[in-house]
Amino acid sequence: MGEKELSELGKKSVDSEFFTLIPDGYKKGKTKYIIITGSVISGIGKGTVSSSIAKLMDERGLEVSPMKAEAYFNVDAGTLNPFRHGEVFVLDDGTETDMDLGSYERFTNKNLTKENYITTGKIFLEIIEKERAGKYLGRDVQLIPHVTGETKKYFRKLAVDSKADLVLIEIGGTVGDYENMYLLEAVRQLIYEEGKENVCLINLTYIFEPKTLGEQKSKAAQLGIKKLIELGLMPDIVICRSEHPVKNNIREKISVFSNVPLQRVIGLHDSDEFYEIPLMMKEKGLDKEIFEILNINEKKLANHSSLKKWTESMTVKNPKKTLTVGIAGKYTGLKDSYISIIKALEHCEAEFQIKIKTKWIEATEIETGKKKVTEVMKGVDALIVPGGYGKRGSEGKIECIKFCREKNIPFLGICYGMQMALIEFSRNVLNKKNANTTEIDSKTSYPVVCLLPDQKKIEGLGGNNRLGGFDVEVKKGTKAFELYEKEKIRERFRHRYECNPEFIKEFEENGLIFSGKAPKVEIMQILELKKHKFFFGTQFHPELTSRPLNPNPCFKGLIKACL
């Protein structure tokens, strides 16, 4: 379909069966698309592969803008339980997203926006609002062409807004799920409208290796690809995830079955070195195959050698020391709940050339008396109490914080972790035994943590936090200033409660230092103790802005205190 024809379709979208919405300034072929789907099973690293491909393209000087297209009906990830879906990642503009957006940001070293994330809920909400306003001019609004048309609009709008050479779209879920069928249909239409030379479709599949057989089996992968083909989508590249290196005969079977040339059937087995994955994919020629499919002249691209240096810098071969960092939370059954914290610690591993082991401390076990704090803190060099909500596990976290304060063990409290530190200090230093947060006890005698003034008017849960990037004023002569080396910083927030301003003076008179606050208002955002190896609390989430080769200063400070 030509550019003029595509433009005409956009002008008559309401009357046309195509219903193709073309954003102002869109030019066909100016931005090309890489689509990534997953088949067979979920949880095989689609987000990591997508991030790695973005890194590969970025390394050659191409401007890449990644997008996650999620199939769930939630408008955003804000109300999702971390047990079910992993961490909620917050963008600088305040959008609450899937954790894969965090992976994209870390690999590309770019701040993304709400345009890089869509959900079924977000699309359908817009469609219903348009229908109620009569903007479909009497049409019966259907999955095809209206839902698929609105979906393609988001793809193309990102191309225009980001001015990217490549828009990389990861389709959430697994091929064959009912819920993402409309997304895959939108992709099929996009290929039809943009032309094969402008869209590269990559399918990530899985090769099983049953222990009882001792050999790799490709049938599940074949059936997954068959489902994709039945939907009218022919993959250009197939990436085969597996436990061990994929055998050539398996690649040949996949190639014959899917009509994908053998050199475009790429094996990607499990690796202990996470940050080597982009280089592994480059060495298998993935980037060159993408350039050929998209008709990109590789000779005109920058010939960067930075990827190898980046990989070497992020890979710790001979650690100087091994540390154990405890993470006391209530979602420890699913490590993805704290994935950005894990990544921030990995960034510190590279920075200090050490190995960091994480010890997961289930705070509810301390709270219920199942385990003692002395038992869970045994062998822990430092403690992190991460963000969270609600009563469950709170008393266990307070016990751990008290142990760190009294035993001079480096401590970092993040968001809810900082609030728990305020409660612990109030109870055990200020002797306010009933001190609490009004989130847990609305009738506490000492509400040292309470609702932010702007939050008191808000009802319900969805989208009511103080969200996104905000400036923080840092006080000179403090640990915070030593870490950041500047008086104004920008970090990301996701909270409703704060240190009660009525208690600030009393805290400070008894040795607690508020070294960071919001500009112009008395909202305390960093706390520290002077006579302690490292006792640090932040109302913001420093893990969200930590990057490979540039760890967040709060995590650097924590690990440096251990060393």
Contacts of 106 (CB under 8 A, 6+ apart): 51, 343, 546, 547, 548
φ and ψ at residue 437, rounded to 5 degrees = -100, 145
Angle between helices 416-428 and 394-407 (to 10 degrees): 70
CB 111 within 8 A of CB 92: yes
CB 327 within 8 A of CB 293: no
Find the radius of gyration of the CA atoms of the chain.
25
Residues in the chain, total: 563
Q: How far apart are CA 224 and CA 268, in angstroms?
A: 17
Alpha helices in 60-180 (DSSP H): 82-85, 100-108, 120-132, 148-162
- Out of 349, 424, 439, 543, pick the active-site residue: 543
Q: Which helix (H) or strand (E) holds 166?
A: strand 166-171
Annotated active-site residue 85? The verdict is: no
259-289 burial, b at 16+ Cβ within 10 Å, e below that, comes to ebeeebbbbbeeeeeebbbbbbbbeeebbeb
Is 487 exposed, middle or buried, given 0-12, 13-18 or 19+ CB atoms closer than 10 A? exposed
Alpha-carbon span 147 to 43, nearest angstrom: 27
Angle (CA) 376-378-379 rounded to 5° is: 130
Alpha helices in 208-338 (DSSP H): 219-230, 248-258, 277-283, 286-293, 306-314
What is the dihedral sign for C-alpha 246, 251, 253, 254? positive
Three-state DSSP class for residue 384: strand
Two tokens, residue 186:
């939108």
Q: Would the CA dihedral through 121, 127, 132, 133 be positive or negative?
A: positive
Could you identify the residue written with the tokens 């103080």? Answer: 466
Q: Which helix (H) or strand (E) holds 540?
A: none
Q: Kindly name the residue from 415, 450, 554, 562 that is annotated as catalytic.
A: 415
In the chain, what's the furthest Cα-to-Cα distance? 75
Residue in the block written with tokens 């200033």: 481
CA 64 – CA 33 distance, rounded (Å): 10
Residue in 377, 435, 437 with CA at minimum distance from that of residue 410: 377
If residue 505 lies in a helix (H) or strand (E), which one and from where to where? helix 504-509
Asked if residues 339 and 51 have their Cβ atoms less than 8 Å apart, the reply is no
Residue 541 known to be catalytic = yes
- One-letter identity of residue 65: S
Active-site hit among 348, 399, 541, 554: 541
Q: Please indicate whether residue 244 is annotated as part of the active site.
A: no
CA torsion angle for 281, 287, 292, 296 (degrees, to 10)?
Answer: 170
Would you name the residues annotated as active-site residues? 415, 541, 543
